[in-house]
Structure 1
Amino acid sequence: MEVALESVTHRLRTPLATSYGEVRERGAYVLSLTTADGVTGWGEAAPLEAYDGVPLEIVGAALERYAAVLADDRGRTGPQLLDACREVADLPQALAAVDMALWDAAGRRAGKPLCALLTDEWLDAVPVNATIGVTDRAGAAAAAAAFADEGFECVKVKVGIGDDAARVAAVRRAIGDGVALRVDANGAWSVEEAVHAIDVLGRSGLELVEEPVSGIAELRAVRERVPVRIAMDETAAEHGAIASAAADAVCLKISRAGGISALLAQAMLVRATGAEVYLASTIDGPLGIAAAAHCAAALKVELPCGLATLGMLDASGDAIPNTALPISHGRLRVPTGPGLLG
């Protein structure tokens, strides 16, 4: 198997403000695997250190070690190759690139889109939410109005970063009552802070609150005291995506899960607990977004997913391939060509 690895930088058109800091650019790696029959599959490793605590350099080092394993594949199957890589370095963000590339190659070989390899029936388009990280109320309202005009049916506002109540209220006025509104604190609050904040923000009408606090016990404590649905995000990384009575929904991510195979297994676990599943990106490149879109389509996810993030990236000068991932009226069209992107 031939292996190639490329380092890329995705720059954001406008910095994204979150409770864990401001994101201006993010690095990633693009991995290509060409099998003995001449089929090439592509995958992406997209850690975001401020979010998941995983430095890009660590991921690059793991991928370099994987390359030696993959080059000497010895006729092993995809799962066997993943296991061999995991023995070298058990790092989900790096394993995700290998898993994606293997699935992409399988789809290209079969002449089918990835979702057709995962299930017999899938969604043609996945509902997605728009994301607002602007810290002033006028900017947040303007962004929200633009998203509503584009047809988005759900808008997410990053909170825990300033005058949350005024910004959220301004967004609600801008989008009207017909658009769902969710907020994401990225675990910024304590239990008491979260309960108070949700009481105030809830007056604007919230679909859900994502990761108001960090930790299973803390999420459960908040959920028991507020009337708004609670979603788990970062906490899922620490507790294997087990929602139990801690959350109504769990946000899953390709990079954090360790790829497509692991994400599908996590989704089954979440649903077994009675919670809903939706997917999001950590400002991934097009390969990561495509992988998540295929998974969401195969899982028939109903909640809007945080996959409308490619528009945040400035493609000029970046190694971003042509995507074919259009969004219309708040729905991301799933690629229909072979593999991830066709």
Structure 2
Amino acid sequence: MTIAAHAPSLDDLLATARVVSLPLVTRFRGIDVREAMVFEGPEGWTEFSPFPEYADEEAATWLAAAIDYGWMPQPALLRSEIAVNATVPAVAAASVPDVLARFDGCRTAKVKVAEAGQRLADDVARVAAVRAAMGPEGRVRIDANGAWNVDEAEHAIHALAEFDLEYAEQPCASVEELAELRRRVKYMGIPIAADESVRKAADPIAVARAGAADLLVIKAQPLGGARRALEIVAEAGLPAVVSSALDTSIGLAMGLALAGALPNLEYDCGLGTAALLAADVVSEPLVPRGGVLRVGRVSADPALLEAHAASAERRDWWIERLRRCHAVLSA
């Protein structure tokens, strides 16, 4: 991915760039604090927040998305509200009701499973607690982030099937493993969703071409923005659900722009994750109300940017990262 001729210069980005450090309500993806860089373009505020461990080549795609959202009009909207799911981290079963209480009116819950250091019994207890809280009409999906091999995934899906799973997200890491698992569990009627096999793949269509998934989980930042994500979905020819990468509300607004423009949206989207943040950069965070979020841009609150500013050391780290990623795109 390269930077467009009309794209902002590095100085343009640095002019309004702010780096924030936001505490989480509960540990998620192995972190307790979410760092992000936000800046303001002609179209409004935008976000650049690849996780720290991502290499520059991958992180540059997130920067392309930030530039696209801040400097370009977004695709035409087909809907103004998006139904979203609750997200349940790998917490103890007893903590599930408290987590779900943060997601007002959500009829769907995504449950993290296969956490390092935990056992399948922990996953079963957590999913059972979610099902009990959601009731028989609620929808429950699981996300393993590619942590199982095929045999482990097959065993786990059997163990969790009694809780009426909507789908299993990225149960295995590779496209080949997903294809084999899908073949093994097809008779159970539990769809397989691909996330990392789309957003972290050199060829995001390979998973669809291999018949390795029933649906795609797409994210605006990792795929380079809404336009590129829409192209991938159209080429794959599979249903899609839009999810977040634990963004601030600015990044979530980018995801909502993508969800609002999808031709078909059959699933509740994973864009309610501001409920997992103990702080945000906007005065009215995009947390679910009645299970939905409204599509639209949001603006950073100067006082919150100041209150949650990252340390000087971390700010310098992000600025150097921005320089490198901008150079990747420019090249």
Short-chain TM bin = 0.7 to 0.9
Instruction: Output aligned runs, 1:208-223, within 5 Å.
Output: 208-223=167-182
Is contact 2:105–2:288 with CA below 8 Å preserved after alignment?
A: no
Task: Summarize the Cα distance change of 1:217–1:254 in structure 2 as closer, same or farther, 3 Å threshold.
Answer: same
The amino acid of 2:292's aligned partner reads R
Match of 2:146 among 152, 176, 187: 187
Task: Summarize the Cα distance change of 1:197–1:324 in structure 2 as closer, same or farther, 3 Å threshold.
Answer: closer
Partner of 2:329: none
Cα shift at 1:238: 1.2
Match of 2:272 among 308, 315, 332: 308
Is contact 1:326–1:333 with CA below 8 Å preserved after alignment?
A: no
Task: Summarize the Cα distance change of 1:142–1:10 in structure 2 as closer, same or farther, 3 Å threshold.
Answer: closer
Report the identity percentage: 34
RMSD of aligned alpha carbons: 2.2
Question: Tell me, what secondary structure is at the counterpart of 1:151?
Answer: coil
Cα shift at 1:323: 4.7
Give the whole-Å Cα distance in 2 for the aligned partners of 1:197 and 1:96: 35
Give the whole-Å Cα distance in 1 for the aligned partners of 2:285 and 2:294: 8
Match of 2:113 among 159, 173, 180: 159
**Stretch deviating more after TM superposition (135-144 or 278-287):** 135-144
Partner of 1:96: 65
Is contact 2:78–2:260 with CA below 8 Å preserved after alignment?
A: yes
Partner of 2:236: 270
Give the whole-Å Cα distance in 2 for the aligned partners of 1:12 and 1:313: 4
Question: Tell me, what secondary structure is at the counterpart of 1:212?
Answer: coil
The gaps in structure 1 that reach 5 residues or longer are 34-38, 60-88, 107-113
How high is the TM-score relative to the length of structure 1? 0.74
Is contact 2:272–2:287 with CA below 8 Å preserved after alignment?
A: no
Give the whole-Å Cα distance in 1 for the aligned partners of 2:204 and 2:145: 16
- Tell whether 2:220 aligns with 1:254: yes
Partner of 1:24: 32
- Tell whether 2:252 aligns with 1:289: yes
Is contact 1:293–1:307 with CA below 8 Å preserved after alignment?
A: yes
Is contact 1:240–1:266 with CA below 8 Å preserved after alignment?
A: no
Instruction: Output aligned runs, 1:1-342, within 5 Å.
Output: 2-3=12-13, 4=15, 5-16=17-28, 18=29, 22-33=30-41, 39=42, 41-49=44-52, 53-54=53-54, 58=56, 91-103=60-72, 106=73, 114=74, 118-119=75-76, 122-144=78-100, 146=101, 150-161=104-115, 162=118, 163-226=122-185, 227=188, 228-236=190-198, 237-242=200-205, 243-244=208-209, 245-271=211-237, 275-299=238-262, 300-315=264-279, 320-323=281-284, 325=286, 327-335=288-296, 340-341=297-298
Question: Tell me, what secondary structure is at the counterpart of 2:91?
Answer: coil
Is contact 2:226–2:257 with CA below 8 Å preserved after alignment?
A: no
Task: Summarize the Cα distance change of 1:326–1:187 in structure 2 as closer, same or farther, 3 Å threshold.
Answer: closer
Task: Summarize the Cα distance change of 1:167–1:95 in structure 2 as closer, same or farther, 3 Å threshold.
Answer: same
Cα shift at 1:210: 0.3
Give the whole-Å Cα distance in 1 for the aligned partners of 2:163 and 2:154: 15
**Stretch deviating more after TM superposition (229-238 or 167-176):** 167-176
How high is the TM-score relative to the length of structure 2? 0.76
The amino acid of 2:113's aligned partner reads V
- Deviation per CA, 1:275-313: give whole Å up to 9, x if none: 211111110012211011011111142211110011211
Is contact 1:187–1:234 with CA below 8 Å preserved after alignment?
A: yes
Is contact 1:43–1:98 with CA below 8 Å preserved after alignment?
A: yes
Q: How many residues align?
A: 274
The gaps in structure 2 that reach 5 residues or longer are 1-7, 300-331
Is contact 2:106–2:288 with CA below 8 Å preserved after alignment?
A: no
The amino acid of 1:241's aligned partner reads P
Runs of 4+ in 1 over 4 A off after TM superposition: none
Give the whole-Å Cα distance in 2 for the aligned partners of 1:157 and 1:232: 15
Is contact 1:241–1:269 with CA below 8 Å preserved after alignment?
A: no
Task: Summarize the Cα distance change of 1:323–1:258 in structure 2 as closer, same or farther, 3 Å threshold.
Answer: farther
The amino acid of 1:46's aligned partner reads S
Is contact 1:190–1:213 with CA below 8 Å preserved after alignment?
A: yes
